Amino acid sequence: METDILDEKPLKNQTIISIYQRRAVRKYEIKPVTKKVIEQLLQAGRMAPSAMNRQPWKFYVVTNTNLIHQLSRDVSKKISSETINKGVKGILEAASGLLHFAHSFNFSTFKDPVFYGAPLVIFITSPVNNEWAKLDIGMCAQNMMLAAYSLGLDSCPVGFGKFVENTEHYPELKIPPNERIELSVIFGYGDESPKVHKRETNNVTYIN
């Protein structure tokens, strides 16, 4: 059973409103995000819970649009190469667990096919041997995206950003070898208004 949860009852709580109304946006205005706002996003991420309070996240903030576009091209080339070498099934397996994947996407079509022209990309890393980091960083990223919405920005988690590792311009991110990218998130002022997708509601079992 699917339902539009936004139609169930009026929303009054600001946190709930942000959760319900935030969308993954893939088209952005040419407008930079100020350092003050970036710091607010980072602080929201730092406030996320983490296993044993280890706070495994490190943030690599990219605002240079030329570098963002180059990293996007690097990733698209890498994924195109992987697809040729391994086929669609292989790249799907390589991308398993990522938060963003479109197997029919034409990476050669757009100037920035991975980061969608966003003016801000934040790569979130963890220590290579932290088995709980993926969960921690998922919560961290969600905090940041909800904070962004409350500040008038849009966002989108881009799992493909992980593929920037081992590309030509990866060293420019200055990520040390004992860390790995778990997720990248794009932020900016959206130039589209995606509609909410219907949500499944028959996925709950109460144990009394």
Q: What is the mean pLDDT of residues 34-57?
A: 97
61-86 residues labelled b (16+ CB within 10 A) or e (exposed): bbbebeebbbbbbbbbebbeebbeee
Domain spans of the chain? Answer: 24-192
- Residues 54-90 pLDDT 10s: 999 999 999 999 999 999 999 998 887 766 566 555 5
Q: What is the mean pLDDT of residues 112-118?
A: 94
CATH number of the structural domain 24-192: 3.40.109.10
pLDDT of 80 reads: 77
User: What pLDDT band is residue 105 in, cutting at 50, 70 and 90?
Assistant: very low
Q: Using the 8-state DSSP alphabet, how is residue 190 labeled?
A: B
CA atoms within a 13 Å half-sphere pointing along the CA-CB vector of 65: 13
Question: Between these two residues, 141 and 112, which has the higher pLDDT value?
Answer: 141
pLDDT of 65 reads: 96
Distance CA 52, CA 116 (A): 35
- Residues 5-39 pLDDT 10s: 555 566 788 899 999 999 999 999 999 999 999 99
Counting residues of the chain whose pLDDT is more than 90, the rounded percentage is 69
With CA atoms as reference, report the closest residue to 70 among 122, 126, 115, 131.
115
pLDDT of 131 reads: 87
The reported pTM is 0.85
Distance CA 77, CA 51 (A): 36
- Residues 119-136 pLDDT 10s: 999 999 999 989 889 999
Report whether pLDDT(99) > 50.
no
DSSP bridge pairs for 124: 59, 183
User: What pLDDT band is residue 45 in, cutting at 50, 70 and 90?
Assistant: very high
pLDDT of 89 reads: 58
